[in-house]
Structure 1
Amino acid sequence: MIPVFDGHNDYLQRAVEAGAAAARLWLQGDGTGHMDLPRLKAGGMAGGFFAMWIPDPQTGDIDALLHAKENPPFDLPLPSEVPAATALPQAFAQAAALFAMERTGTLAVCRSAADIRAAMADGRIAAILHMEGAEAIANPDALHLWHAIGMRSLGFVWSRPTRYGHGVPFAFPSSPDRGEGLTDAGRALVRECNALKILIDLSHLNEKGFDDVAALSDAPLVATHSGVHAICPSSRNLTDRQLRRIAETRGVVGLNYNTGFLDPAGRRDRFAGFDIMMRHLDHLLALLGEGGVALGSDFDGAVMPADLSDAAALPGLVQAMLDHGYGRELAERIAWRNWVDVLDRTWGQ
């Protein structure tokens, strides 16, 4: 079985919500969501980026929002910025959940590419502590604290503003060119992330913010869970110009499995088969090269295709790549090696 290293999941919020049952949820599963240890093992998922993400405290009319997303075209307003005082306890709770998982002996929180390789060799899940939206980082001192804890990957925004920049709204069809670029604090954060060798995740960032990071950063440009705008013109996907800019830095894009970011019509229908995903991968390969394409599922945070319903179904995706004509070496690069290689280049270890 070819292992898979994944660019993004939202499992930690599920773990926090499980409370006292979190250990059982991880070790045994409960039949919900997309991930737990048994399904990761069954699907050959060797590790990935585990995201701390702050739920929107002002959810509004959930039914109306879901109806809009399921009936394109749509253009949803950005939620309000979440204050650091609200975000910090939730981020700490999610980080604590990941370290509790590590204490079971089944997972290792990794701070280097060598750590990832060692965890994979030992049969433990190799986990990167990632923050999706920097609301919990009030200042550079807080960034240093999170780094000391073990965080090695940071997205400045989710799809809402922060003190550092602006996320794209959920919109289809739409350009990612929505809103202003990084703030002064955001530009300073780029420099501090570079100094600490923290990966900067461009997924969810708007186009002007993307350009600001590209102009300032000395690290490979990375989008952990995005798709191809030329195929599916969602605001969340990357244009060919952005993809070429990532390629110039020997960066990586992890393909998002969210059906609404894959389907050319922007629908969130749970389509069957892997043809649409192969179209996205082919396009990414054409612009990024064989070293620039990876996987970024968005498990436990999105609607999955019918034949990729959870982590246990990952061998079907790997087999689809082989059936599509990708040789085993390329399939392995996409499935896991490109993530480890770009982390080696980013972290310098």
Structure 2
Amino acid sequence: MSTEHDWITTPVTADLLRGFLDVEETAHGLLPHRLPAWARRQIPDSQLALAEAQPSGVRLAFRTRATVIELDTLPTKRAYRGLPAPADGVYDLLVDGRLAGQATVAGGNVNVIDMATQSVEPREGAPGTARFSGLPAGDKGVEIWLPHTEITELIALRTDAPVEPAPDGGRKRWLHHGSSISHGSNATHPTAIWPALAASQGAAELVNLGFGGGALLDPFTARAMRDTPADLISLKIGINVVNTDAMRLRAFTPAVHGFLDTIREGHPTTPLLVVSPILCPVQEDTPGPLAPDFSSGTLTFKATGDPDERAAGRLTLNVIRDALARIVEERATDDPHLHHLDGRDLYGEADHAELPLPDGVHPCPAGHRRIAENFARLAFGPGGPFAVQNG
């Protein structure tokens, strides 16, 4: 930590945070969560437990005249056995909505994941500091977006001028649920994940429940969304159900109905957009489960199911797209605020030809931008399901 300033230390409390559903007090500080404690007790696997604690879309938001800001954190990073260590997660600092600085925190804890067995080996590390300097003088709105793939315990916030929680800006609150693509896989920094980009373009306040590997129509996720205030809701459903081979068509259809029924208990007239999967050639017509493939020297994925079993109800992306379109069409007769969007309108064949999926499943950084641009146009733009609500 630098000593060149007269520092003001501000406790990191929930009123400084946005984009979270719960906070946990730890031995080090405050840990944001994207599922409430009661839901976390129902999580059946370590992958979702890790994903919901990774603060995708979570940010500190405050007003200050500070020109230097330091944030002490203890990150918990993710590494894959047999692969090079990933780069440190990025902290994005925005001033009045514009990216004005980036920082990383070295060290911290590391969870080493074995992709073949999904076992996790934890390794302990030390806290560090994300430092931002040279910020413009004068009163300003500041946001610090936390690394979207690093669990981040918030320890201390130091500034060279007082801070106060940012006031409500009057933006519509957009509650989004999806898979690792919504979580931000392959995006290089937290404001570059497609939901964050789309929220910025749509002038919406994002709450991102995109969970890597965890969009499986879990009832506790539906109940958490039911109980979370929202002006706009979207669900990106399908790819995790296919790539985990979690259910067949007979179970999938009522599971979608049940998920929607639960959300509607808390949000009976909120615009609700159901989005089917983006194009993913390895899973278009081949069922899961998905398996890691290291044969090229880098991590890619391949589908291992038998396409001939589609007649027996095995799910593929095309089967799911047809099912979601049918479900929304049937329900919309009694629910005029329910809408459907084919994910291939966000990322389809032409997009794949231009911006192929690096690992066969997740978009590249430019792919995130493409998805965000298309979502903003189709959802927030004129005639879109979110347009009237967004003003």
TM-score normalized with structure 1 length: 0.35
Identify which of structures 1 and 2 has the higher relative contact order when contacts are C-alpha pairs closer than 8 Å and 6+ apart: 1
TM-score normalized with structure 2 length: 0.32
